[in-house]
Structure 1
């Protein structure tokens, strides 16, 4: 009788263990993300991205004390599900009106700079011998919106954790340099508030970096910088769709037999942006969704860091870093040329 009861209970144990593993993994990722958000709030350093801090902290935990094997399932859940939900909620920070406010010249500058940068990095990456996954992620992060674009593009490209971490490192390094250098260049380059704002928003990697760089030149420059940056974020959706519908990620061979799966979370991103364009969402709710989006993205990046082996990053060498440097210089110069040609 007792043996029969034991046998009937035994099959439920793996499910219980899996649930515990998911919970522990989610807890680790959530603690890292919450700590990074708290750090920015307590220090007041708005230019510091909690997304970047999250992947750095995750990598430190992974490579110093290590991660319990039982938490693997929860970390994987954060990496797949929470990341994509965060990107969907990111759509609520964008409206069609914000994009239209740039005017034709501003929109042309943003779109042309993004497209030219992505193509240029892709071609130079091939010339440098950088693998297609890392090249695609660096191109997405540089041309669109930093770490958020890297993790969104990776849903289609399917790069390794090390590819994502390297790409995030590149956009962090060079975006931070731009954040410090750009305010010093506005006067020598003869840029007024609008031209400087659009140039910065169209070329600097992270949203936080754009805000920090543009508001130093005044409120008007800050507004134009933020709007042009959000216009780039809108273009994240079609870019990821294109990557998802092409064979961009077939270089490793494991998916070459068929087309890449469609990144359905991008549809959610577009739907949220459309909703925000036609419905007046209360400011309090808008703030909560923005915080939720940042937290979910940070938990996903923490999970990314928790799966990243620093030795594998070191093994990739300096060529991806050189590609990131090229992309940074290209987008900065090309964006300035576009601002000049369009008469902003």
Structure 2
């Protein structure tokens, strides 16, 4: 345990800094700030070897604990309150974005892991989904870094694009909020975009986004089953992947607890802070493993995939909202 302390301490300091920056500039997600801090440290002043065990622990174990706690932010009652039409839209947006992104990635000649990371992040919940997917399929560091960088790039752009287009299209605040929640990548980015539109948009956008977050569990479970089949067919190596990852079961259990309403509001607020710190620490750890030169050397195909996925999720979200609110 002592060998983990130096790395855990570094990740804790970085996570705290990321959260404070987020409080100062709310438009900047703490998770994305943590990724950028990790990339700066990893490329400018590499961490000493004594920090390596704790950093590796943060990128795996703390990540999974953070994902489990994320489930406590999701109430099935709130999601059901959207109406079955909008719930169906959320499922369709996530499913179709995921599938179409996979097809485009294959057409671009990108690796399956790289494509799965982008498909997960852009269809579900941004950086947390990218990292959760990496926990299931074990992609290369450069592929994870590329997907996370695209979440930063395209998700931030959406903060400005969705409010502007909502005005151009003449959408009501309610419709614009539904669109933001069903299309923007990160939870914090959804809050930023919907906040620009107005309070009526913000209240509904967060619920729609959390409806997408809850789909993290079935998507990751499906990926785990796919990994098992590849392993059994001889395409994988090492230990056989679990039927359903333990952190996915924990996430589902947390959703059930949140939906039962047994935890008081002050406990949930404290857990949300802890969850953000844990995920930020994990993102910082992942960021330290990013080699910017290798990332830039990957060419324009990953960016093309991210742009395509963003257009797809945006159009699907808009179409679904218009169908359910006309």
Q: TM-score category by the smaller chain?
A: over 0.9
Q: Is the 8 A contact 1:142 1:327 kept in 2?
A: yes
Under a length normalisation based on structure 2, what TM-score does the superposition of the two structures give?
0.94
CA displacement at 1:20 relative to structure 2 = 4.0
Does the alignment pair 1:73 with 2:53?
A: yes
1:1-344 alignment, distance < 5 Å: 19-41=1-23, 43=24, 45-247=25-227, 255=236, 260-261=241-242, 262-344=244-326
Please give the alpha-carbon distance, in whole angstroms, between the structure 2 residues aligned to 1:334 and 1:233. 17
Please give the alpha-carbon distance, in whole angstroms, between the structure 2 residues aligned to 1:59 and 1:267. 31
Please give the alpha-carbon distance, in whole angstroms, between the structure 2 residues aligned to 1:47 and 1:326. 24
Q: Is the 8 A contact 2:86 2:320 kept in 1?
A: no
Listed as ranges, the gaps of 5+ residues in structure 2 are none
CA displacement at 1:218 relative to structure 2 = 2.0
Pair 76,285 (structure 1): closer, same or farther in 2 beyond 3 Å:
same
CA displacement at 1:79 relative to structure 2 = 1.0
Q: Is the 8 A contact 1:245 1:259 kept in 2?
A: no
Please give the alpha-carbon distance, in whole angstroms, between the structure 2 residues aligned to 1:248 and 1:60. 36
Question: Corresponding residue for 1:10?
Answer: none
CA displacement at 1:287 relative to structure 2 = 0.9
Please give the alpha-carbon distance, in whole angstroms, between the structure 1 residues aligned to 2:110 and 2:228. 14
Please give the alpha-carbon distance, in whole angstroms, between the structure 1 residues aligned to 2:100 and 2:127. 19
Q: Is the 8 A contact 1:29 1:303 kept in 2?
A: yes
Figure out how many residues of one structure are paired with residues of the other and give that number: 323
The superposition leaves residues 36-82 of structure 1 with CA deviations (integer Å, 9 ceiling, x where unpaired) of: 111222x2x21211111111111111111111112111111111110
Structure with max Cα Rg:
1
Please say which of residues 214-223 and 258-267 is displaced more in the overlay. Answer: 258-267
Please give the alpha-carbon distance, in whole angstroms, between the structure 1 residues aligned to 2:130 and 2:222. 15
Pair 254,303 (structure 1): closer, same or farther in 2 beyond 3 Å:
farther
3-state DSSP of counterpart to 1:26: helix
CA displacement at 1:87 relative to structure 2 = 0.5
Pair 260,206 (structure 1): closer, same or farther in 2 beyond 3 Å:
same
Please give the alpha-carbon distance, in whole angstroms, between the structure 2 residues aligned to 1:136 and 1:47. 27
Listed as ranges, the gaps of 5+ residues in structure 1 are 1-18
Under a length normalisation based on structure 1, what TM-score does the superposition of the two structures give?
0.90
3-state DSSP of counterpart to 1:246: helix
Q: Is the 8 A contact 1:132 1:248 kept in 2?
A: no
**Stretches (4+) displaced over 4 A:** 248-251, 256-259
3-state DSSP of counterpart to 1:187: helix
3-state DSSP of counterpart to 2:155: helix
